[in-house]
């Protein structure tokens, strides 16, 4: 409890709670920053920007921005300040930890560590693995969860084509491992390429049955579905604030404390250390002896990003109050509209691992016959004011697997360079969520139909590897 309850009430949740409850009970999108921004079109005029790249970074909720703005005048140093604002900021920071712990349904003994991102969280976990730990990871992972394990013994698992096959593949791999050493499974909750949900609970059961632990990359899951560490029975979960409608570059690693407490700090510095003394005699005289914290502070060296952390907590509260049941139902309606709209265009092929009936979040990737994906994405932006993503989405092995049977794409504007002997491959990704208006989805589907039927209205050229309108 804060030593300054009145100030905390002024700067934190009451700022948002005092507003109308319409944001949490309406059937439309949640208000986000940028919803009224207009952008110019190369064909003339302006249009409201349709942000359909949520899988990269979701727009900040207006609620989050308002909460941060209310707190900003009270900003102060965290943990080591004696002043009024420092004490208030420390309370806000630690209360945010409690909020995230509750949002994730953590076990009482679990730690919540604040990081810079999902990538940072998983690299932290990679640094605290016990000696000899074997890591199992599917090739379908985002690079944030595919690449951090370079110093461990890593077994890369082939892309499964059904959820059941994913569980079977993991079980076979774990059955062949050294049963006496530590092991970790890393798996995504929802694919950043296909949007498909993975069988996390079943994978966790398989891991634990073979004496392994499991970490869940929830970067694409947490913004769209409730995530419970306890119910899913995972050992750790990682996610990023900037995908959860919170800006400012913060992330979370939450879960079991033992491996984290037993390892050297991820970063050495102030805040992580409990006591530092000069060594005056014996071996290493002249150096320093350090006693590290055993709490989350052990891996949070340096001055923390208190505004980023508070924005995550605000987003957690906002999504909880809005009601995930309502948010999921509305998003699934948008998913249905987009998939049905794309299915009506024969030239479009939607990328999928698990098939059309697989449950998924609002992330859909596709290719269009006769178009390079960079060219198509550029035309969506320049001629329709629609922002999507093109490329391999930091999941190169997965996208290459999904595009392996795709026809040769023409080498036109924006075609990425390929290694000798390889074809140029890339795809288009449309992604959306709680802040997406119906009109943005309808405009996107209509734009795809027009571009495929009539072609681009403008000429494009390649500039520094990107397809841009020719001027």
Task: List active site positions.
Answer: 394
Question: Could you tell me the CA-to-CA distances from 402 to 139, 217, 359, 367 in Å, in that order?
Answer: 12, 21, 18, 10
Reading the block at residue 124, the tokens are 């932290």
Reading the block at residue 185, the tokens are 């499974």
Inter-residue long-range contacts of 99-102, CB under 8 Å, 24+ positions, other chains counted: 99/313, 99/316, 99/317, 100/252, 100/254, 100/312, 100/313, 100/316, 101/254, 102/316
φ/ψ of residue 468, rounded to 5: -135, 155
Question: Could you tell me the CA-to-CA distances from 206 to 106, 167, 199, 359, 468 in Å, in that order?
Answer: 20, 7, 11, 21, 48
Helix (H, G, I), strand (E, B) or coil at 375: helix
> Strand (E) positions, 169-250?
183-188, 213-217, 236-240
Helix (H, G, I), strand (E, B) or coil at 214: strand
Whose tokens are 């930091």? That residue is 394
Q: In what order do the strands lie in the sheet with 134-138?
A: 111-115, 251-255, 236-240, 213-217, 183-188, 134-138, 153-157
Question: Could you tell me the CA-to-CA distances from 323 to 25, 312, 330, 354, 367 in Å, in that order?
Answer: 8, 17, 11, 28, 34
Is the distance from CB of 243 to CB of 54 less than 8 angstroms? yes
CB atoms within 10 A of CB 308: 21
Q: How many residues does the chain have?
A: 471
CB atoms within 10 A of CB 5: 11
Per-position b or e across 423-460, b if 16+ CB within 10 A of its CB: ebbbbbbbbbbbbbbeebbebbbebbeebbeeebeeeb
- Beta strand 111-115 with 251-255: parallel, antiparallel or unpaired? antiparallel
Reading the block at residue 371, the tokens are 């178009």
């Amino acid at each position: 409890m804060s030593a300054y309850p009145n100030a905390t009430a002024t700067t934190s949740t009451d700022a948002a709670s005092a507003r109308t409850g319409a944001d949490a009970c309406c059937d439309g999108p949640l208000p986000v920053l940028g919803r009224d921004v207009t952008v110019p079109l190369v064909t003339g005029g302006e249009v409201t920007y349709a942000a359909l790249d949520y899988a990269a970074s979701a727009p900040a909720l207006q609620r989050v921005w308002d909460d941060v703005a209310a707190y900003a005048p009270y900003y102060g140093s965290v943990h080591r300040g004696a002043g009024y604002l420092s004490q208030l900021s420390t309370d806000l920071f630690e209360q945010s930890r409690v909020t995230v712990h509750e949002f994730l349904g953590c076990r009482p003994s679990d730690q919540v560590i604040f990081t810079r991102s999902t990538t940072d969280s998983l690299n932290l976990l990679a640094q605290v693995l016990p000696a000899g730990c074997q890591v199992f990871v599917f090739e379908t992972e985002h690079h944030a969860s595919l690449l951090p394990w370079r110093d461990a013994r890593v077994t890369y698992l082939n892309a499964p084509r059904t959820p059941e096959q994913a569980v079977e593949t993991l079980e076979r791999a774990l059955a062949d491992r050294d049963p006496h050493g530590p092991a970790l499974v890393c798996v995504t909750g929802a694919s950043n390429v296909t949007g498909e949900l993975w069988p996390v609970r079943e994978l966790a059961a398989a891991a634990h049955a073979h004496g392994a632990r499991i970490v869940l990359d929830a970067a694409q899951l947490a913004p769209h579905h409730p995530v419970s560490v306890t119910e899913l029975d995972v050992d750790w979960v990682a996610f990023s604030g900037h995908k959860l409608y919170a800006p400012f570059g913060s992330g979370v690693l939450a879960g079991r404390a033992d491996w984290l407490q037993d390892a050297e700090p991820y970063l050495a510095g102030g805040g992580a250390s409990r006591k530092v003394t000069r060594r005056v005699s014996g071996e290493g005289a002249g150096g320093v002896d350090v006693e590290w914290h055993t709490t989350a502070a052990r891996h949070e060296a340096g001055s923390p990003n208190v505004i980023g952390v508070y924005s995550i907590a605000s987003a957690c509260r906002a999504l909880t109050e809005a009601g995930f049941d309502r948010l999921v139902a509305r998003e699934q309606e948008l998913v249905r509209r987009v998939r049905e709209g794309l299915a009506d265009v024969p030239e479009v092929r939607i990328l999928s691992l698990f098939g059309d009936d697989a449950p998924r979040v609002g992330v859909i990737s596709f290719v269009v016959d006769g178009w390079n994906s960079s060219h198509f994405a550029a035309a969506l932006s320049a001629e329709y004011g629609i922002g999507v993503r093109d490329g391999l989405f930091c999941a190169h092995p997965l996208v290459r697997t999904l595009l392996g049977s795709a026809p040769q794409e023409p080498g036109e504007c924006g075609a990425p360079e390929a290694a000798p002997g390889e074809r140029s491959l890339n795809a288009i990704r449309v992604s959306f969520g709680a802040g997406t208006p119906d009109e943005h989805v309808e405009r996107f589907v209509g734009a795809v139909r027009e571009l495929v039927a009539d072609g681009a209205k403008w000429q494009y050229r390649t500039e520094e590897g990107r397809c841009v309108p020719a001027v």
